[in-house]
Amino acid sequence: MPPSLPLFLTQLLGPPPEAIGTWWASAERRVFERGQPLLHAGEHWRHLWWVERGALRLYYLDRDGAESNKNFFLDGALCWPITPTLRQQPVMFHVEPLEDSVVWTLPFPADADAPLPSVGWAPWAALEHRVLCALLDGKMQREQKFLQLSARQRYVHLLEQHPDWAERIALKHLASYLGVTDVSLSRLRSEMGLIKG
């Protein structure tokens, strides 16, 4: 059976109640070309995304138009506006694929204040809890690394925690995520013996 978001969620959470299964069945499989935006700053985020294959990046633009990468989501990742604020207010970041990507999109209720069909279903609540904990832990760890570690140490940690990022994400995007220039990261990689002459 080919992959689908309903199948993925069923394997992850177990068979859903009928109303939730009907909601999951509304998901669409879409192909996005590299750079084709899924979401612009100022828009409302009204979908759950599952990356069947590909890579997405979330990034900010500063007042001068410089990009700052917030996070990356590769094969098998789920990404959705997990808090009410993210669903109800326009987002301040952009989302786009770093490579041609197959992404399943699951629409949320048109009324941003309306509860999701999954509210009250224990497996979904447990998933939200795990994801929120992982997001908070990730943000605290990233803050600690920026405050206490050198650029080299931050890059070493990235290689340990996300080896797939290092293989598939362009150096300039990794550099932005690490808070350094791509020139600095190239020099650092050379010093570490990661660039073959």
Ordered by start, the domain boundaries in the chain are 5-116
**Residue-wise pLDDT tens digits, 40-99:** 999 999 999 999 999 999 999 998 989 999 999 999 999 999 988 999 999 999 999 999
CA distances from 175 to 41, 60, 67, 138 (A): 22, 14, 11, 18
Q: Is the pLDDT of residue 2 over 70?
A: no
**Residue-wise pLDDT tens digits, 111-120:** 888 888 999 9
Residue 3: pLDDT band with limits 50, 70, 90? confident
pLDDT for res 111? 86
Average pLDDT, the chain: 93
Residue with the bigger pLDDT between 167 and 123: it is 123
Residue 108: pLDDT band with limits 50, 70, 90? very high
pLDDT for res 197? 43
Q: What is the mean pLDDT of residues 134-154?
A: 94
- Give yes or no for a contact between 69 and 176, defined as CB atoms under 8 angstroms apart: yes
pLDDT for res 194? 82
- Evaluate whether the domain defined by 5-116 bears CATH number 3.20.20.140: no
pLDDT for res 180? 95
